[in-house]
């Protein structure tokens, strides 16, 4: 598997910074030209990667924050996802798989991401994994979404409950991968991480 971090939204944040990005969004026609130019540039990467032997692409694009979308959902649908379909087209035509990752809560955009061609979604605990499992768990993969704060601050009972919560959602779905959303930070107590793994091994039988 290979991947890219600056698909669209994260790429514009990297180039413009948050304040300039939000300011630019106030000028729709000018911003559209900027967006189209950026997509034309980054599309070179997607087309070249589609010609490799790599079967899976991880697209990381932080389209949402803790409380969800940072601008109107209509804007995402008219601008961002339109571009996503264009970028992913050569990958889908080549028969390759696409995994999508975003920080925050992007529950609102499950349908949009599936329509864009994403085969699997990686979720932090803020995103409603149960809703995705209900609607797409038999046809699409999903990864997550144990809360890393539970491993950092919780006791053994807390950690076990968090593992049970995730497995209760994903156990019956063929493409579910258990994971800690946003990874396990280095200050996590080692005993907690080992207990998390032990709980997973005990409870993960399908």
Whole-model pTM: value is: 0.91
Q: Which residue has the tokens 């990958």?
A: 91
Last residue of a domain, which of 96, 122, 148?
122
pLDDT band at 181 (very low <50, low <70, confident <90, very high): confident
Last residue of a domain, which of 122, 137, 165?
122
Same domain, 116 and 145: no
Last residue of a domain, which of 122, 149, 177?
122
* Per-residue pLDDT reduced to its tens digit, 142-174: 998 999 999 999 999 999 999 999 999 999 999
Same domain, 36 and 57: yes
206 pLDDT more than 90: no
Same domain, 148 and 112: no
Same domain, 112 and 148: no
Give the number of other CB atoms < 10 A from CB of residue 32. 12
Same domain, 91 and 193: no
Same domain, 108 and 141: no
Q: For residue 43, give its domain range.
A: 1-122
């Amino acid at each position: 598997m290979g991947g890219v971090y600056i698909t669209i939204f994260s790429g514009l944040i990297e180039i413009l910074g948050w304040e300039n990005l939000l300011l630019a969004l106030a000028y729709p026609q000018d911003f559209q030209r900027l967006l189209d130019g950026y997509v034309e540039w980054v599309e070179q990467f997607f087309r070249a990667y589609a010609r490799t032997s790599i079967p899976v692409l991880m697209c990381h694009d932080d389209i949402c924050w803790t409380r969800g979308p940072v601008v109107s959902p209509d804007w995402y649908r008219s601008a961002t996802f339109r571009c996503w379909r264009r970028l992913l087209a050569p990958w889908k035509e080549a028969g390759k798989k696409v995994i999508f990752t975003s920080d925050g809560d992007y529950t609102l955009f499950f349908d949009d991401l599936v329509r864009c061609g994403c085969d699997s979604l990686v979720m932090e605990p803020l995103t409603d994994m149960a809703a995705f499992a209900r609607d797409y768990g038999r046809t699409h993969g999903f990864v997550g979404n144990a809360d890393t704060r539970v491993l950092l601050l919780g006791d053994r009972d807390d950690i076990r409950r968090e593992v049970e919560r995730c497995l209760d959602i994903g156990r019956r779905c063929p493409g579910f991968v258990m994971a800690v959303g946003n990874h396990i930070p280095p200050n996590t107590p080692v005993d907690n991480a080992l207990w998390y793994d032990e709980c997973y091994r005990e409870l993960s039988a399908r």
